[in-house]
Chains A and B, each alone.
Chain A
């Protein structure tokens, strides 16, 4: 067994430190060591997108990064997207309004991906929205509500 190693990073603006096995993924670090269980794990091999977080602002799969690789970096999870007064972010608000979720399992990954996507494409076409959503899987909604939510949110941000 490889020795555990110390790792320090900033998560949602807070400094987090833990001693982890090198094989521990960023997703498991967030859930187990930071108790931030908003980051969900579906497939754990990079297909479903449920674990998407922002790493130094870029949307990435937290299951395909080892926590130790994130040493010194800045991570934002779905918990970090909500306003500090406890309300919803514009993207979350749009998901609620447009019925962009049913069971909610995939939703954190979608919300994080869409937040990054809209930052980079403030006025996306429908084709761009669909391509932007292609990296996240949802097994309940049939995606139409999610596409509508992105369209709705794009008008607000």
Chain B
């Protein structure tokens, strides 16, 4: 239960970190909050000759609203996101997904970038980033680039990040005023990774038509999934005509969820449809409450 020996590096600048990663290649591993990586090392599921710790890099922390997005530095702690007023107001889905992550002690160390780069298919943040079309700011020794969420998640624990890349920040689009968001999940115990879960966003125009719909699912495949068919069916429809149960079934119809000791694939598909329905229903209710408040 002790990690294998490694050499520790605690760079204070992104350029130092990316230079170390360029030099060490696959012998190095980036350490963010450590809430998933350190258990993996302790259980000797993985060992690395070099650990590059990002915790000393202040430039990777912080939350700013800019140009219709909220930019969250990769090393921002989940606990900071949980209590941040900007996130709560401008990207409610990110704020509401946060309390589902582990326990408060985990969120005090766990980071936004760490959760996204770890890419557990049953984790909340990857589904939020995918559903909201977040943009990932990636840095390496050659420069910086931007990767859309739709291209970031490749497979279980695999992302578009190369060995010498670090995730620097993530930009989440801010939706219009008449929008509602909800997160629903089913887990064996509070704080566990979900057996299946869904995040939903709905935005309405002045005629109560859906102008934007986002449905992300987690625990339902090797990556978080986007329910594109269900979103397309929702977009443009009058909100009063939406059959939320039908949307739930459409969302999960094409999924191929895992079959494991925790739940069968059939269970996940069936319950997955229900959690999508519940999340969508709550997102719609929130839109309507905004309508009543502003119309009253």
A interface residues with partner B (beta carbon < 8 Å) = 1-3, 5, 21-23, 25, 28, 43-47, 49, 52, 55, 58-61, 63-66, 68-69, 71, 113, 116-117, 130-132, 134-135
- Chain A neighbourhood of B238, CB < 8 A: none
Residues A60 and B109 in contact, CB atoms below 8 Å apart: yes
Knowing A2-B6, A23-B2, A64-B35, the reply to whether A44 touches B106 (Cβ < 8 A) is: no
Residues B35 and A23 in contact, CB atoms below 8 Å apart: no
Closest B residue to A21 by CB, please name it.
Answer: B5
- Chain B neighbourhood of A65, CB < 8 A: 34, 38, 109
Knowing A1-B5, A21-B5, A64-B34, the reply to whether A46 touches B10 (Cβ < 8 A) is: no
CB within 8 Å of A: which of B174-206? 189-191
* Contact count A vs B, C-beta below 8 Å: 90
Q: Give Cα distance in the complex from A109 to B251, angstroms.
A: 42
Residues A5 and B8 in contact, CB atoms below 8 Å apart: yes
Residues A61 and B190 in contact, CB atoms below 8 Å apart: no
- Chain A neighbourhood of B15, CB < 8 A: none
Residues B190 and A131 in contact, CB atoms below 8 Å apart: yes
Q: Give Cα distance in the complex from A135 to B10, angstroms.
A: 28
Knowing A23-B3, A131-B190, the reply to whether A68 touches B8 (Cβ < 8 A) is: yes
Task: Identify the 6 closest CB pairs spanning chains A and B, nearest first.
Answer: A135-B103, A22-B8, A45-B39, A44-B1, A58-B108, A64-B38
Q: Give Cα distance in the complex from A22 to B39, angstroms.
A: 15
Q: Give Cα distance in the complex from A71 to B56, angstroms.
A: 10
Q: Give Cα distance in the complex from A116 to B261, angstroms.
A: 35
Closest B residue to A23 by CB, please name it.
Answer: B3
Picked from A22, A44, A130, A135, the residue with its CB within 8 Å of the CB of B42 is A44
What size tier do the contact residues of chain B reach?
Answer: 20 to 34
Residues B38 and A46 in contact, CB atoms below 8 Å apart: yes
Q: Does B163 contact A (CB under 8 A)?
A: no
Which of A21, A22, A25, A117 has the largest count of B CB atoms less than 10 A from its CB?
A22
Q: Give Cα distance in the complex from A153 to B139, angstroms.
A: 48
Residues B51 and A61 in contact, CB atoms below 8 Å apart: no
- For the complex formed, measure the closest distance between the CB of B206 and the CB atoms of chain A, giving whole angstroms: 38
Contacts A25-B2, A46-B35, A66-B38 supplied; 6 other A-B pairs, CB < 8 Å:
A22-B8, A22-B51, A44-B2, A49-B103, A61-B106, A132-B104
Residues B53 and A69 in contact, CB atoms below 8 Å apart: yes
Contact with A along B78-111 (1 / 0, CB 8 A): 0100000000000000000001001111101100
Residues A61 and B5 in contact, CB atoms below 8 Å apart: no
Which of B1, B4, B41, B104 has the largest count of A CB atoms less than 10 A from its CB?
B104
Knowing A44-B42, A45-B39, A135-B191, the reply to whether A61 touches B8 (Cβ < 8 A) is: no
Would you give 27 A-B contacts (Cβ < 8 Å), ordered by A? A2-B8, A3-B7, A22-B6, A22-B7, A23-B2, A23-B3, A25-B38, A43-B1, A44-B42, A45-B38, A45-B39, A46-B38, A46-B106, A58-B109, A60-B105, A61-B106, A63-B38, A64-B35, A65-B34, A66-B8, A66-B34, A66-B38, A69-B34, A113-B105, A130-B190, A132-B104, A135-B103
Q: Give Cα distance in the complex from A69 to B79, angstroms.
A: 19
- Chain B neighbourhood of A135, CB < 8 A: 102-106, 191
- Chain B neighbourhood of A45, CB < 8 A: 1, 38-39, 42-43
Picked from A58, A64, A66, A71, the residue with its CB within 8 Å of the CB of B39 is A64
Closest B residue to A121 by CB, please name it.
Answer: B104
- For the complex formed, measure the closest distance between the CB of B51 and the CB atoms of chain A, giving whole angstroms: 7
- For the complex formed, measure the closest distance between the CB of B296 and the CB atoms of chain A, giving whole angstroms: 30
Q: Give Cα distance in the complex from A23 to B51, angstroms.
A: 10
- Chain B neighbourhood of A71, CB < 8 A: 10
- Chain B neighbourhood of A49, CB < 8 A: 103, 105
- For the complex formed, measure the closest distance between the CB of A16 and the CB atoms of chain B, giving whole angstroms: 18
- Chain A neighbourhood of B106, CB < 8 A: 46, 61, 135
Closest A residue to B37 by CB, please name it.
Answer: A64
